[in-house]
Amino acid sequence: MELRTLEELQLQTSASKTKKDASSLDQNDFMKLMLQQLKSQDPLNPADNTEFISQMAQLTSVSGISEMNENLAGLTKSLYSAQLLDASSLIGKDVLLETEFAALPSGGSVQGQVNLATSTTALDIEIVAPSGEVIGKVPLGPQRAGTVPFEWNGVGLNGERMPPGTYQIRANYLNGNTLEAAATEVRSEVMSVSVPAGGGTPQVQVQGVGTVSMSQILEIS
């Protein structure tokens, strides 16, 4: 009787059953194939020792890969839990983000900063309602290049306290005789956090801003 290899036995099995990808064979599959090979070999012409050792090495390799996959899955779960735990410590804290939106609380103010690339004779912070109307303004006057903090107390141009909600923040400064826009960085409260099921950077739900990546956080206070 002619000795049949693992590959030939695998082809025979696939013909009678649903085809199974070779990369998905586990330790039990290889053991069954090897036992079937031993049963099918010619007693007068047994399998060569070198070939048999090679097949045992394949079995060991498959077993090792399976164990490694299990360990990696466990490590991924551990990292997921650690990320979620670290991110959850941000809930209730204020974070600084580069954004043009801010949430005005029922009592309190909106705080942020502007990074000027050059000095200016006039820097203004405008507060814009969802309708597009400018309803508030914070004049900061002449400023040097660098970080300039600002605070809006929630009072509109009409002298009345604006209702709580999300407002757009715009920064404009004079560069010579030209009025230019500058990016704003606003402090807002973290409401909740989450970690993608497939892994990756934790996501932070920030009041008035929405969902942002933790990598976008510039400062925590």
Same domain, 45 and 125: no
Rg (CA), the chain: 33
In a domain, 18, yes or no: yes
Q: What number of other Cβ atoms are within 10 A of residue 37's Cβ?
A: 19
The token duo for 39 is 């049963």
Q: Which residue range(s) make up the domain with 83?
A: 6-87
* Domain stop point among 60, 87, 114: 87
Supply the pLDDT for residue 3: 46
* Cα–Cα distance, 32 to 62 (Å, whole number): 13
Supply the pLDDT for residue 107: 85
Residue 39 in 3-state DSSP? Answer: helix
Domain count, the chain: 2
* Cα–Cα distance, 60 to 204 (Å, whole number): 44
Q: pLDDT tens, 159-193?
A: 999 999 999 999 999 999 999 999 999 999 999 98
Report the greatest alpha carbon distance in the chain: 105
Same domain, 70 and 132: no
The DSSP symbol for 95 reads E
Same domain, 126 and 39: no
Judge contact between 79 and 196, C-beta under 8 A.
Answer: no
Q: Is the overall model pTM greater than 0.85, yes or no?
A: no
* Cα–Cα distance, 91 to 202 (Å, whole number): 13
Supply the pLDDT for residue 147: 96
pLDDT, the chain, mean: 79
Same domain, 66 and 34: yes
